[in-house]
Amino acid sequence: MGKIYKDDVGTMIYVNCGQDITGATATKLKVKKPSGTEVEWTATVEGTTQLRYITGSGDIDESGAYLVQSNMTLSGWTGLGETATFTVYEPYT
């Protein structure tokens, strides 16, 4: 994937959960923006091991490092996955 730029809309964010998540419900991405603001994005299961979210207006409104964790319910377990990061750049960088 190429660079993600501030205020992009329609960018697909994938989080690989590292195991089969077929049948997972209440799938979300918990996101901590560079400013420390925490948000939740409703995600969908993609294939058997990934969650996918397509950014909308205002989702990536800050440049810098974003922290993201999968969050779901699967076979009686509800919880968070490992933390991943992605970087959002200012335009023209």
CATH code of 78's domain? 2.60.40.10
Which parts of the chain have pLDDT scores under 70?
1
How crowded is residue 80: how many other Cβ atoms within 10 Å of its Cβ?
A: 11
Cα distance between residue 91 and residue 88, in whole Å: 9
**Range(s) of the domain holding residue 9:** 4-89
| The predicted structure's pLDDT at residue 2 | 84
| The predicted structure's pLDDT at residue 1 | 55
DSSP annotation of 33: -
Q: What is the pTM of this model?
A: 0.92
| The predicted structure's pLDDT at residue 93 | 86
Q: Are 54 and 41 in contact (CB under 8 A)?
A: no
How many domains would you assign to the chain?
Answer: 1
| The predicted structure's pLDDT at residue 71 | 97
| The predicted structure's pLDDT at residue 6 | 97
